[in-house]
Chains A and B, each alone.
Chain A
Protein backbone atom coordinates (compact mmCIF):
# COMPACT_ATOMS: atom_id res chain seq x y z
CA UNK A 1 0.00 0.00 0.00
CA UNK A 2 1.46 3.31 -1.11
CA UNK A 3 0.98 6.40 1.00
CA UNK A 4 -0.49 9.26 -1.07
CA UNK A 5 -0.40 12.00 1.54
CA UNK A 6 1.64 11.95 4.67
CA UNK A 7 1.22 14.70 7.20
CA UNK A 8 3.94 14.87 9.83
CA UNK A 9 3.41 16.90 12.95
CA UNK A 10 1.64 19.73 11.17
CA UNK A 11 1.23 22.87 13.26
CA UNK A 12 -0.66 25.93 12.06
CA UNK A 13 -0.74 29.18 13.94
CA UNK A 14 -2.60 32.34 12.98
CA UNK A 15 -0.90 34.85 15.21
CA UNK A 16 -1.94 33.90 18.72
CA UNK A 17 -4.51 31.35 17.54
CA UNK A 18 -3.27 27.81 17.05
CA UNK A 19 -5.54 26.07 14.54
CA UNK A 20 -3.59 22.80 14.38
CA UNK A 21 -1.50 21.36 17.23
CA UNK A 22 0.77 18.81 15.57
CA UNK A 23 -1.38 16.67 13.31
CA UNK A 24 0.07 13.46 11.90
CA UNK A 25 -1.68 11.10 9.55
CA UNK A 26 -1.06 8.92 6.51
CA UNK A 27 -3.54 8.58 3.68
CA UNK A 28 -3.28 5.46 1.55
CA UNK A 29 -3.31 5.79 -2.23
CA UNK A 30 -6.61 4.98 -3.94
CA UNK A 31 -8.63 5.31 -0.76
CA UNK A 32 -11.47 7.42 0.52
CA UNK A 33 -10.20 9.23 3.59
CA UNK A 34 -12.37 11.52 5.69
CA UNK A 35 -11.51 14.25 8.15
CA UNK A 36 -14.41 14.42 10.58
CA UNK A 37 -14.85 16.95 13.32
CA UNK A 38 -17.01 19.77 14.61
CA UNK A 39 -16.89 23.18 12.98
CA UNK A 40 -13.74 25.09 13.85
CA UNK A 41 -11.59 22.04 14.60
CA UNK A 42 -9.13 22.79 11.80
CA UNK A 43 -10.31 20.57 8.94
CA UNK A 44 -10.39 23.31 6.32
CA UNK A 45 -7.04 24.61 7.52
CA UNK A 46 -5.46 21.20 7.01
CA UNK A 47 -7.02 20.82 3.57
CA UNK A 48 -5.87 24.27 2.50
CA UNK A 49 -2.35 23.50 3.63
CA UNK A 50 -2.33 20.45 1.38
CA UNK A 51 -3.74 22.47 -1.53
CA UNK A 52 -1.15 25.18 -0.91
CA UNK A 53 -3.34 28.08 0.20
CA UNK A 54 -2.00 28.18 3.73
CA UNK A 55 1.61 27.98 4.78
CA UNK A 56 2.50 25.29 7.27
CA UNK A 57 3.94 26.75 10.48
CA UNK A 58 5.78 23.62 11.61
CA UNK A 59 6.02 20.06 10.37
CA UNK A 60 5.77 18.83 6.82
CA UNK A 61 3.44 17.45 4.21
CA UNK A 62 4.62 14.75 1.83
CA UNK A 63 2.90 13.86 -1.41
CA UNK A 64 3.94 10.39 -2.52
CA UNK A 65 7.04 10.76 -0.42
CA UNK A 66 8.07 14.20 -1.64
CA UNK A 67 7.80 17.36 0.41
CA UNK A 68 5.53 19.92 -1.28
CA UNK A 69 6.25 22.82 1.05
CA UNK A 70 8.06 24.83 -1.59
CA UNK A 71 5.45 24.32 -4.33
CA UNK A 72 3.00 27.07 -5.24
CA UNK A 73 -0.60 25.80 -5.37
CA UNK A 74 -0.62 25.80 -9.17
CA UNK A 75 2.26 23.32 -9.20
CA UNK A 76 0.70 20.82 -6.80
CA UNK A 77 -0.94 17.77 -8.39
CA UNK A 78 -3.99 18.05 -6.14
CA UNK A 79 -7.36 19.61 -6.96
CA UNK A 80 -10.05 20.92 -4.69
CA UNK A 81 -13.83 20.81 -4.70
CA UNK A 82 -14.58 24.03 -2.83
CA UNK A 83 -17.25 24.30 -0.19
CA UNK A 84 -19.39 26.68 -2.23
CA UNK A 85 -18.07 25.24 -5.49
CA UNK A 86 -16.42 28.49 -6.70
CA UNK A 87 -17.56 27.90 -10.28
CA UNK A 88 -16.34 30.65 -12.60
CA UNK A 89 -19.50 32.68 -13.22
CA UNK A 90 -18.46 33.99 -16.63
CA UNK A 91 -17.70 30.59 -18.17
CA UNK A 92 -19.94 27.84 -19.44
CA UNK A 93 -20.05 24.51 -17.66
CA UNK A 94 -17.78 23.02 -20.31
CA UNK A 95 -15.24 25.86 -20.06
CA UNK A 96 -15.25 25.51 -16.31
CA UNK A 97 -14.47 21.82 -16.53
CA UNK A 98 -11.80 22.38 -19.20
CA UNK A 99 -10.10 25.22 -17.32
CA UNK A 100 -7.48 23.12 -15.52
CA UNK A 101 -6.52 21.40 -18.76
CA UNK A 102 -6.24 24.75 -20.52
CA UNK A 103 -3.89 26.00 -17.82
CA UNK A 104 -1.82 22.85 -18.27
CA UNK A 105 -1.57 23.73 -21.98
CA UNK A 106 -3.49 20.68 -23.13
CA UNK A 107 -4.52 21.24 -26.75
CA UNK A 108 -8.11 22.41 -27.35
CA UNK A 109 -9.37 19.23 -29.01
CA UNK A 110 -8.13 16.96 -26.23
CA UNK A 111 -9.41 19.23 -23.54
CA UNK A 112 -12.89 19.39 -25.05
CA UNK A 113 -12.92 15.64 -25.25
CA UNK A 114 -11.71 15.14 -21.70
CA UNK A 115 -14.08 17.75 -20.30
CA UNK A 116 -16.91 16.03 -22.16
CA UNK A 117 -15.98 12.71 -20.60
CA UNK A 118 -15.92 14.25 -17.16
CA UNK A 119 -19.37 15.74 -17.65
CA UNK A 120 -20.56 12.31 -18.71
CA UNK A 121 -19.11 10.85 -15.54
CA UNK A 122 -21.22 13.26 -13.48
CA UNK A 123 -24.27 12.88 -15.78
CA UNK A 124 -24.31 16.49 -16.95
CA UNK A 125 -23.45 16.18 -20.65
CA UNK A 126 -26.73 17.81 -21.61
CA UNK A 127 -25.92 21.01 -19.72
CA UNK A 128 -22.41 21.67 -20.98
CA UNK A 129 -23.28 25.02 -22.59
CA UNK A 130 -25.17 26.41 -19.57
CA UNK A 131 -23.77 29.10 -17.31
CA UNK A 132 -23.22 28.10 -13.66
CA UNK A 133 -26.01 30.38 -12.45
CA UNK A 134 -28.48 28.41 -14.54
CA UNK A 135 -27.81 25.23 -12.56
CA UNK A 136 -29.35 23.85 -9.39
CA UNK A 137 -27.19 23.37 -6.31
CA UNK A 138 -26.79 19.67 -6.98
CA UNK A 139 -25.78 20.27 -10.58
CA UNK A 140 -23.26 22.93 -9.55
CA UNK A 141 -21.80 20.46 -7.11
CA UNK A 142 -21.33 17.93 -9.91
CA UNK A 143 -19.69 20.51 -12.16
CA UNK A 144 -17.27 21.39 -9.38
CA UNK A 145 -16.49 17.70 -9.02
CA UNK A 146 -15.97 17.23 -12.77
CA UNK A 147 -13.80 20.34 -12.92
CA UNK A 148 -11.55 19.12 -10.13
CA UNK A 149 -11.30 15.59 -11.58
CA UNK A 150 -10.64 16.64 -15.18
CA UNK A 151 -6.88 17.32 -14.78
CA UNK A 152 -6.56 13.86 -13.16
CA UNK A 153 -5.06 15.00 -9.87
CA UNK A 154 -3.16 12.59 -7.65
CA UNK A 155 -5.37 13.59 -4.73
CA UNK A 156 -8.82 15.18 -4.72
CA UNK A 157 -9.64 17.44 -1.79
CA UNK A 158 -13.31 17.93 -0.95
CA UNK A 159 -14.31 20.53 1.65
CA UNK A 160 -17.82 19.79 2.88
CA UNK A 161 -19.05 19.54 -0.72
CA UNK A 162 -22.46 18.20 0.25
CA UNK A 163 -23.36 20.61 3.01
CA UNK A 164 -25.31 22.99 0.73
CA UNK A 165 -27.53 20.22 -0.67
CA UNK A 166 -30.84 19.00 0.68
CA UNK A 167 -31.05 15.73 2.56
CA UNK A 168 -32.24 13.46 -0.28
CA UNK A 169 -29.60 14.72 -2.69
CA UNK A 170 -26.95 14.46 -0.02
CA UNK A 171 -27.74 10.83 0.60
CA UNK A 172 -27.64 10.00 -3.11
CA UNK A 173 -24.36 11.84 -3.59
CA UNK A 174 -22.68 9.90 -0.78
CA UNK A 175 -23.02 6.68 -2.68
CA UNK A 176 -22.05 8.32 -5.95
CA UNK A 177 -18.92 9.92 -4.53
CA UNK A 178 -17.71 6.62 -3.18
CA UNK A 179 -18.38 4.97 -6.54
CA UNK A 180 -16.56 7.72 -8.35
CA UNK A 181 -13.56 7.30 -6.11
CA UNK A 182 -13.44 3.61 -6.88
CA UNK A 183 -13.88 4.15 -10.62
CA UNK A 184 -11.21 6.82 -10.96
CA UNK A 185 -8.72 5.33 -8.53
CA UNK A 186 -7.93 8.84 -7.29
CA UNK A 187 -7.36 9.34 -3.58
CA UNK A 188 -10.21 11.35 -2.08
CA UNK A 189 -9.62 13.44 1.02
CA UNK A 190 -13.06 14.41 2.21
CA UNK A 191 -13.89 16.92 4.93
CA UNK A 192 -17.16 16.93 6.81
CA UNK A 193 -18.71 17.68 10.18
CA UNK A 194 -21.49 15.18 9.51
CA UNK A 195 -20.69 11.84 11.14
CA UNK A 196 -23.30 9.93 9.18
CA UNK A 197 -21.70 11.16 5.93
CA UNK A 198 -18.29 10.09 7.18
CA UNK A 199 -19.44 6.69 8.32
CA UNK A 200 -21.20 5.79 5.06
CA UNK A 201 -18.45 6.67 2.56
CA UNK A 202 -15.05 6.39 4.11
CA UNK A 203 -12.37 3.74 4.03
CA UNK A 204 -10.70 5.50 6.90
CA UNK A 205 -11.74 8.39 9.11
CA UNK A 206 -9.67 10.79 11.17
CA UNK A 207 -11.73 12.30 13.95
CA UNK A 208 -10.49 15.77 14.83
CA UNK A 209 -11.18 18.12 17.68
CA UNK A 210 -9.62 21.46 18.58
CA UNK A 211 -6.75 21.08 16.15
CA UNK A 212 -5.82 17.56 17.17
CA UNK A 213 -6.48 14.15 15.68
CA UNK A 214 -8.41 12.13 18.26
CA UNK A 215 -8.60 8.81 16.51
CA UNK A 216 -7.92 7.30 13.09
CA UNK A 217 -9.62 4.16 11.93
CA UNK A 218 -12.35 2.58 9.85
CA UNK A 219 -15.95 3.57 10.41
CA UNK A 220 -16.43 0.44 12.49
CA UNK A 221 -13.33 1.14 14.58
CA UNK A 222 -14.30 4.61 15.60
CA UNK A 223 -17.90 3.71 16.28
CA UNK A 224 -17.34 0.44 18.10
CA UNK A 225 -14.12 1.20 19.88
CA UNK A 226 -13.89 4.94 20.43
CA UNK A 227 -10.57 5.66 22.03
CA UNK A 228 -11.73 8.59 24.13
CA UNK A 229 -14.65 10.49 25.53
CA UNK A 230 -14.75 13.02 22.64
CA UNK A 231 -14.93 10.37 19.92
CA UNK A 232 -17.53 8.37 21.79
CA UNK A 233 -19.76 11.39 22.17
CA UNK A 234 -19.18 12.89 18.74
CA UNK A 235 -19.78 9.70 16.75
CA UNK A 236 -23.37 8.65 17.29
CA UNK A 237 -25.02 8.86 20.68
CA UNK A 238 -23.73 7.33 23.83
CA UNK A 239 -24.33 7.18 27.56
CA UNK A 240 -21.33 8.16 29.64
CA UNK A 241 -21.20 6.94 33.22
CA UNK A 242 -18.50 7.96 35.70
CA UNK A 243 -17.10 4.80 37.26
CA UNK A 244 -14.30 3.69 39.57
CA UNK A 245 -11.98 1.10 38.09
CA UNK A 246 -10.99 -1.43 40.73
CA UNK A 247 -9.17 -4.06 38.69
CA UNK A 248 -7.71 -4.38 35.19
CA UNK A 249 -7.01 -7.76 33.58
CA UNK A 250 -6.51 -8.90 29.95
CA UNK A 251 -8.64 -6.35 28.07
CA UNK A 252 -11.27 -6.34 30.79
CA UNK A 253 -11.84 -4.13 33.77
CA UNK A 254 -13.93 -4.35 36.90
CA UNK A 255 -15.69 -1.12 37.67
CA UNK A 256 -18.09 0.26 40.28
CA UNK A 257 -21.10 2.25 39.06
CA UNK A 258 -22.45 5.32 40.95
CA UNK A 259 -25.20 3.07 42.31
CA UNK A 260 -22.53 0.99 43.99
CA UNK A 261 -23.16 -1.94 41.67
CA UNK A 262 -20.13 -3.74 40.19
CA UNK A 263 -19.70 -4.52 36.50
CA UNK A 264 -17.11 -6.05 34.22
CA UNK A 265 -16.50 -4.30 30.92
CA UNK A 266 -14.12 -4.32 27.97
CA UNK A 267 -11.18 -1.94 28.11
CA UNK A 268 -8.32 -1.51 25.65
CA UNK A 269 -5.93 -0.09 28.21
CA UNK A 270 -6.94 1.42 31.49
CA UNK A 271 -5.55 2.45 34.81
CA UNK A 272 -7.23 2.28 38.16
CA UNK A 273 -9.27 5.24 39.36
CA UNK A 274 -12.02 7.39 37.98
CA UNK A 275 -12.95 6.86 34.29
CA UNK A 276 -15.87 7.15 31.90
CA UNK A 277 -17.83 4.12 30.80
CA UNK A 278 -19.52 4.35 27.40
CA UNK A 279 -22.71 2.41 26.61
CA UNK A 280 -24.45 2.96 23.23
CA UNK A 281 -28.24 3.34 23.66
CA UNK A 282 -29.00 0.72 21.00
CA UNK A 283 -26.83 -1.90 22.71
CA UNK A 284 -29.20 -2.18 25.62
CA UNK A 285 -32.51 -4.05 25.82
CA UNK A 286 -35.32 -4.06 28.31
CA UNK A 287 -35.28 -7.40 30.03
CA UNK A 288 -36.61 -8.68 33.36
CA UNK A 289 -33.18 -10.19 34.08
CA UNK A 290 -31.18 -7.11 33.10
CA UNK A 291 -28.28 -5.98 35.28
CA UNK A 292 -29.17 -2.27 35.51
CA UNK A 293 -32.16 -0.85 37.34
CA UNK A 294 -33.73 2.30 35.90
CA UNK A 295 -36.85 4.46 36.06
CA UNK A 296 -38.44 5.62 32.78
CA UNK A 297 -38.80 9.40 32.72
CA UNK A 298 -39.90 10.14 29.18
CA UNK A 299 -40.58 8.31 25.94
CA UNK A 300 -39.64 10.01 22.68
CA UNK A 301 -41.27 8.79 19.51
CA UNK A 302 -38.78 8.91 16.61
CA UNK A 303 -40.47 6.97 13.83
CA UNK A 304 -38.49 3.82 13.27
CA UNK A 305 -37.25 3.87 16.84
CA UNK A 306 -38.32 4.89 20.30
CA UNK A 307 -35.99 6.57 22.71
CA UNK A 308 -36.49 6.01 26.40
CA UNK A 309 -34.99 8.63 28.66
CA UNK A 310 -34.37 6.88 31.95
CA UNK A 311 -32.51 7.43 35.20
CA UNK A 312 -30.32 4.73 36.68
CA UNK A 313 -30.06 3.93 40.33
CA UNK A 314 -27.42 6.33 41.53
CA UNK A 315 -28.90 9.20 39.56
CA UNK A 316 -27.18 8.92 36.13
CA UNK A 317 -29.32 9.86 33.10
CA UNK A 318 -29.36 6.97 30.63
CA UNK A 319 -31.01 6.72 27.24
CA UNK A 320 -32.13 3.56 25.53
CA UNK A 321 -33.24 2.98 21.95
CA UNK A 322 -35.69 0.29 21.01
CA UNK A 323 -36.99 -0.70 17.61
CA UNK A 324 -40.51 0.50 16.95
CA UNK A 325 -41.91 -2.94 16.07
CA UNK A 326 -45.58 -3.87 16.25
CA UNK A 327 -44.92 -6.00 19.28
CA UNK A 328 -42.87 -3.46 21.19
CA UNK A 329 -44.37 -2.78 24.58
CA UNK A 330 -43.70 0.78 25.58
CA UNK A 331 -43.24 1.27 29.29
CA UNK A 332 -45.13 4.20 30.80
CA UNK A 333 -43.13 7.05 32.36
CA UNK A 334 -42.57 6.32 36.01
CA UNK A 335 -42.29 2.56 35.69
CA UNK A 336 -39.30 0.66 37.02
CA UNK A 337 -37.50 -1.36 34.36
CA UNK A 338 -34.38 -3.47 34.10
CA UNK A 339 -31.88 -3.05 31.31
CA UNK A 340 -29.66 -5.75 29.87
CA UNK A 341 -26.33 -4.91 28.27
CA UNK A 342 -25.33 -6.75 25.12
CA UNK A 343 -22.02 -8.59 25.09
CA UNK A 344 -19.21 -5.98 24.90
CA UNK A 345 -21.62 -3.04 25.05
CA UNK A 346 -19.92 -1.40 28.00
CA UNK A 347 -16.56 0.13 27.04
CA UNK A 348 -14.18 1.88 29.33
CA UNK A 349 -12.69 5.03 27.77
CA UNK A 350 -9.02 5.77 28.19
CA UNK A 351 -8.70 9.46 28.86
Chain B
Protein backbone atom coordinates (compact mmCIF):
# COMPACT_ATOMS: atom_id res chain seq x y z
CA UNK B 1 0.00 0.00 0.00
CA UNK B 2 1.47 3.30 -1.09
CA UNK B 3 0.50 6.52 0.69
CA UNK B 4 -1.80 9.13 -0.79
CA UNK B 5 1.22 11.15 -1.85
CA UNK B 6 2.28 8.53 -4.34
CA UNK B 7 1.16 8.59 -7.96
CA UNK B 8 2.71 6.13 -10.38
CA UNK B 9 4.61 7.78 -13.21
CA UNK B 10 5.10 11.14 -11.56
CA UNK B 11 8.78 10.50 -10.93
CA UNK B 12 9.22 9.65 -14.62
CA UNK B 13 7.57 12.89 -15.71
CA UNK B 14 9.71 14.86 -13.27
CA UNK B 15 12.82 13.36 -14.81
CA UNK B 16 11.53 14.15 -18.31
CA UNK B 17 11.01 17.77 -17.20
CA UNK B 18 14.56 17.99 -15.93
CA UNK B 19 15.92 16.41 -19.09
CA UNK B 20 14.01 18.85 -21.27
CA UNK B 21 15.34 21.73 -19.19
CA UNK B 22 18.94 20.59 -19.00
CA UNK B 23 19.65 18.73 -22.21
CA UNK B 24 20.14 21.80 -24.47
CA UNK B 25 22.25 23.59 -21.87
CA UNK B 26 24.49 20.60 -21.37
CA UNK B 27 24.95 20.07 -25.08
CA UNK B 28 26.03 23.68 -25.50
CA UNK B 29 28.34 23.47 -22.51
CA UNK B 30 29.97 20.34 -23.94
CA UNK B 31 30.33 21.80 -27.45
CA UNK B 32 31.92 24.95 -26.06
CA UNK B 33 34.97 22.80 -25.35
CA UNK B 34 35.10 21.55 -28.93
CA UNK B 35 38.49 22.00 -30.60
CA UNK B 36 36.97 22.00 -34.07
CA UNK B 37 36.01 25.18 -35.93
CA UNK B 38 32.95 23.45 -37.28
CA UNK B 39 30.16 23.36 -34.75
CA UNK B 40 28.98 20.01 -36.12
CA UNK B 41 31.93 17.71 -35.71
CA UNK B 42 33.62 16.95 -32.42
CA UNK B 43 37.32 17.69 -32.74
CA UNK B 44 38.51 16.88 -29.25
CA UNK B 45 38.64 18.86 -26.02
CA UNK B 46 40.03 22.37 -26.10
CA UNK B 47 39.74 25.72 -24.40
CA UNK B 48 40.42 27.63 -27.60
CA UNK B 49 36.95 29.22 -27.77
CA UNK B 50 37.28 30.51 -24.25
CA UNK B 51 40.57 32.05 -25.27
CA UNK B 52 38.84 33.38 -28.37
CA UNK B 53 36.17 35.07 -26.25
CA UNK B 54 38.82 37.19 -24.55
CA UNK B 55 41.31 37.67 -27.37
CA UNK B 56 39.49 36.90 -30.63
CA UNK B 57 38.15 39.33 -33.24
CA UNK B 58 34.87 39.83 -31.39
CA UNK B 59 36.49 40.22 -28.01
CA UNK B 60 36.29 44.00 -27.96
CA UNK B 61 32.64 44.09 -29.01
CA UNK B 62 31.64 41.52 -26.42
CA UNK B 63 33.84 43.13 -23.80
CA UNK B 64 32.08 46.44 -24.22
CA UNK B 65 28.68 44.76 -24.22
CA UNK B 66 29.59 42.91 -21.03
CA UNK B 67 30.70 46.15 -19.39
CA UNK B 68 27.38 47.79 -20.32
CA UNK B 69 25.39 44.79 -19.12
CA UNK B 70 27.14 44.57 -15.78
CA UNK B 71 27.16 48.28 -14.97
CA UNK B 72 23.48 48.59 -15.94
CA UNK B 73 22.58 45.52 -13.87
CA UNK B 74 24.54 46.82 -10.86
CA UNK B 75 22.94 50.27 -10.94
CA UNK B 76 19.45 49.07 -11.84
CA UNK B 77 19.43 46.31 -9.21
CA UNK B 78 20.70 48.65 -6.48
CA UNK B 79 18.25 51.45 -7.21
CA UNK B 80 15.38 49.01 -7.65
CA UNK B 81 16.22 47.39 -4.30
CA UNK B 82 16.18 50.75 -2.52
CA UNK B 83 12.89 51.78 -4.13
CA UNK B 84 11.37 48.36 -3.47
CA UNK B 85 12.45 48.36 0.18
CA UNK B 86 10.86 51.75 0.73
CA UNK B 87 7.71 50.52 -0.99
CA UNK B 88 7.62 47.30 1.03
CA UNK B 89 7.93 49.25 4.30
CA UNK B 90 4.99 51.44 3.35
CA UNK B 91 2.88 48.60 2.00
CA UNK B 92 3.41 46.20 4.89
CA UNK B 93 4.05 48.46 7.87
CA UNK B 94 1.83 51.30 6.67
CA UNK B 95 -1.49 49.65 7.42
CA UNK B 96 -4.35 49.55 4.97
CA UNK B 97 -4.84 52.91 3.26
CA UNK B 98 -6.83 54.23 0.36
CA UNK B 99 -5.05 53.27 -2.83
CA UNK B 100 -3.32 50.26 -1.28
CA UNK B 101 -4.65 47.92 -3.94
CA UNK B 102 -3.91 50.38 -6.74
CA UNK B 103 -0.34 50.71 -5.49
CA UNK B 104 0.00 46.97 -5.27
CA UNK B 105 -1.18 46.77 -8.86
CA UNK B 106 1.27 49.48 -9.90
CA UNK B 107 4.23 47.69 -8.32
CA UNK B 108 3.31 44.52 -10.14
CA UNK B 109 2.45 46.25 -13.42
CA UNK B 110 5.79 45.35 -15.04
CA UNK B 111 5.00 41.68 -14.40
CA UNK B 112 1.50 41.81 -15.84
CA UNK B 113 2.16 43.68 -19.06
CA UNK B 114 3.81 41.45 -21.69
CA UNK B 115 7.48 42.30 -22.12
CA UNK B 116 7.07 43.25 -25.76
CA UNK B 117 4.35 45.75 -24.82
CA UNK B 118 6.57 47.28 -22.13
CA UNK B 119 9.23 47.59 -24.79
CA UNK B 120 6.92 49.33 -27.26
CA UNK B 121 5.46 51.67 -24.65
CA UNK B 122 8.89 52.63 -23.31
CA UNK B 123 10.28 53.31 -26.77
CA UNK B 124 7.28 55.47 -27.67
CA UNK B 125 7.64 57.37 -24.42
CA UNK B 126 11.33 58.13 -24.85
CA UNK B 127 10.79 59.10 -28.45
CA UNK B 128 7.91 61.44 -27.53
CA UNK B 129 9.82 63.27 -24.81
CA UNK B 130 12.80 63.44 -27.15
CA UNK B 131 15.24 61.42 -25.06
CA UNK B 132 17.87 59.86 -27.30
CA UNK B 133 17.92 56.08 -27.01
CA UNK B 134 21.15 54.75 -25.54
CA UNK B 135 22.73 53.75 -22.23
CA UNK B 136 20.51 56.04 -20.15
CA UNK B 137 17.22 54.88 -21.65
CA UNK B 138 18.20 51.24 -21.18
CA UNK B 139 19.13 51.96 -17.57
CA UNK B 140 15.82 53.75 -16.85
CA UNK B 141 13.82 50.89 -18.38
CA UNK B 142 15.77 48.31 -16.37
CA UNK B 143 15.24 50.13 -13.07
CA UNK B 144 11.50 50.11 -13.75
CA UNK B 145 11.03 46.45 -14.52
CA UNK B 146 13.44 45.37 -11.77
CA UNK B 147 11.32 46.93 -9.01
CA UNK B 148 8.69 44.14 -8.71
CA UNK B 149 11.39 41.47 -8.78
CA UNK B 150 13.21 43.13 -5.90
CA UNK B 151 9.92 43.82 -4.13
CA UNK B 152 8.73 40.19 -4.00
CA UNK B 153 11.37 38.66 -1.67
CA UNK B 154 11.71 41.82 0.41
CA UNK B 155 7.98 42.10 1.04
CA UNK B 156 7.73 38.38 1.77
CA UNK B 157 10.53 38.66 4.31
CA UNK B 158 9.14 41.82 5.88
CA UNK B 159 5.67 40.39 6.35
CA UNK B 160 7.33 37.46 8.13
CA UNK B 161 8.88 39.80 10.68
CA UNK B 162 6.28 40.59 13.27
CA UNK B 163 5.98 44.25 14.29
CA UNK B 164 6.56 43.25 17.90
CA UNK B 165 10.34 43.23 17.38
CA UNK B 166 10.32 46.90 16.50
CA UNK B 167 7.80 47.50 19.26
CA UNK B 168 10.09 45.80 21.76
CA UNK B 169 12.94 48.03 20.60
CA UNK B 170 10.74 51.10 20.94
CA UNK B 171 9.72 49.89 24.39
CA UNK B 172 13.43 49.77 25.24
CA UNK B 173 13.85 53.47 24.37
CA UNK B 174 15.01 53.17 20.73
CA UNK B 175 13.94 55.94 18.39
CA UNK B 176 11.99 55.12 15.27
CA UNK B 177 15.18 55.38 13.23
CA UNK B 178 17.20 53.25 15.65
CA UNK B 179 14.51 50.56 15.67
CA UNK B 180 14.72 50.47 11.89
CA UNK B 181 18.49 50.45 11.68
CA UNK B 182 19.27 48.11 14.59
CA UNK B 183 16.33 45.71 14.46
CA UNK B 184 14.44 45.71 11.21
CA UNK B 185 17.28 46.13 8.74
CA UNK B 186 19.38 43.21 10.04
CA UNK B 187 16.32 40.97 10.13
CA UNK B 188 15.42 42.08 6.62
CA UNK B 189 18.95 41.36 5.37
CA UNK B 190 18.40 38.05 3.54
CA UNK B 191 15.32 39.47 1.83
CA UNK B 192 17.32 42.48 0.63
CA UNK B 193 20.09 40.28 -0.73
CA UNK B 194 17.65 37.94 -2.52
CA UNK B 195 15.79 40.90 -3.95
CA UNK B 196 18.96 42.47 -5.20
CA UNK B 197 20.27 39.23 -6.72
CA UNK B 198 16.95 38.56 -8.44
CA UNK B 199 16.84 42.08 -9.86
CA UNK B 200 20.47 41.79 -10.97
CA UNK B 201 19.88 38.55 -12.85
CA UNK B 202 16.65 39.83 -14.40
CA UNK B 203 18.44 42.94 -15.64
CA UNK B 204 21.36 40.92 -16.99
CA UNK B 205 18.87 38.58 -18.65
CA UNK B 206 16.71 41.10 -20.45
CA UNK B 207 16.72 41.10 -24.20
CA UNK B 208 13.40 42.31 -25.60
CA UNK B 209 13.06 45.64 -23.79
CA UNK B 210 16.76 46.41 -24.13
CA UNK B 211 16.66 45.65 -27.81
CA UNK B 212 13.89 48.24 -28.27
CA UNK B 213 15.31 51.12 -26.26
CA UNK B 214 19.06 50.71 -26.77
CA UNK B 215 19.28 52.63 -30.04
CA UNK B 216 21.92 51.96 -32.67
CA UNK B 217 25.51 51.31 -31.63
CA UNK B 218 24.86 50.51 -27.97
CA UNK B 219 24.92 46.81 -27.04
CA UNK B 220 24.39 44.73 -23.95
CA UNK B 221 25.55 41.14 -23.80
CA UNK B 222 22.20 39.61 -24.81
CA UNK B 223 21.71 41.97 -27.77
CA UNK B 224 25.29 41.36 -28.90
CA UNK B 225 24.79 37.60 -28.69
CA UNK B 226 21.49 37.89 -30.55
CA UNK B 227 23.08 39.89 -33.33
CA UNK B 228 25.85 37.36 -33.63
CA UNK B 229 23.52 34.34 -33.53
CA UNK B 230 21.42 35.76 -36.36
CA UNK B 231 24.40 35.00 -38.63
CA UNK B 232 24.69 31.46 -37.31
CA UNK B 233 25.85 29.93 -34.06
CA UNK B 234 29.61 30.12 -33.75
CA UNK B 235 31.65 28.23 -31.15
CA UNK B 236 32.66 31.41 -29.33
CA UNK B 237 28.96 32.08 -28.66
CA UNK B 238 28.77 28.72 -26.99
CA UNK B 239 31.74 29.58 -24.82
CA UNK B 240 30.11 32.89 -23.81
CA UNK B 241 26.84 31.10 -23.14
CA UNK B 242 28.57 28.56 -20.94
CA UNK B 243 30.29 31.35 -19.01
CA UNK B 244 26.95 33.09 -18.47
CA UNK B 245 25.43 29.78 -17.46
CA UNK B 246 28.14 29.45 -14.84
CA UNK B 247 27.48 32.96 -13.54
CA UNK B 248 23.75 32.25 -13.28
CA UNK B 249 24.30 29.00 -11.40
CA UNK B 250 26.69 30.80 -9.07
CA UNK B 251 24.11 33.47 -8.36
CA UNK B 252 21.26 31.04 -7.70
CA UNK B 253 23.44 29.02 -5.37
CA UNK B 254 24.41 32.20 -3.56
CA UNK B 255 20.87 33.42 -3.16
CA UNK B 256 19.81 29.92 -2.11
CA UNK B 257 22.50 29.72 0.55
CA UNK B 258 21.65 33.17 1.86
CA UNK B 259 18.00 32.19 2.09
CA UNK B 260 18.88 29.02 3.97
CA UNK B 261 20.93 31.05 6.43
CA UNK B 262 18.13 33.56 6.78
CA UNK B 263 15.64 30.82 7.43
CA UNK B 264 17.69 29.38 10.24
CA UNK B 265 17.66 32.66 12.15
CA UNK B 266 15.05 31.11 14.36
CA UNK B 267 13.32 34.22 15.59
CA UNK B 268 11.44 34.67 12.34
CA UNK B 269 8.23 32.87 11.68
CA UNK B 270 7.91 31.31 8.27
Contacts and interface: CB of A to CB of B under 8 A. Distances in A.
Interface of A: 52-53, 55, 72-73
B1 interface: yes
Contacts of B4: 53
Enumerate the 4 nearest inter-chain pairs by beta-carbon distance, A residue then B residue, closest first.
A55-B1, A72-B1, A52-B1, A53-B3
Interface string B1-42: 101100000000000000000000000000000000000000
Contacts of B1: 52, 55, 72-73
Nearest to A70: B1
Contacts, number: 6
Nearest to B4: A53
Nearest to B3: A53
A52 B3 CA distance: 9
6 contacts: A52-B1, A53-B3, A53-B4, A55-B1, A72-B1, A73-B1
Contacts of A73: 1
Contacts of A72: 1
Interface in B89-118: none
Nearest to A69: B1
Contacts of A52: 1
A72 B3 CA distance: 10
A73 B1 CA distance: 8
B3 to A, nearest CB: 7
Nearest to A71: B1
A53 B4 CA distance: 8
A314 B1 CA distance: 58
A7 B1 CA distance: 19
B77 to A, nearest CB: 40
A155 B23 CA distance: 53
B162 to A, nearest CB: 25
A73 B2 CA distance: 10
Contacts of A55: 1
Nearest to A53: B3
B195 to A, nearest CB: 33
B106 to A, nearest CB: 31
A55 B4 CA distance: 13
Contacts of B3: 53
A52 B1 CA distance: 8
A99 to B, nearest CB: 15
Nearest to A73: B1
A147 B3 CA distance: 22
Nearest to A52: B1
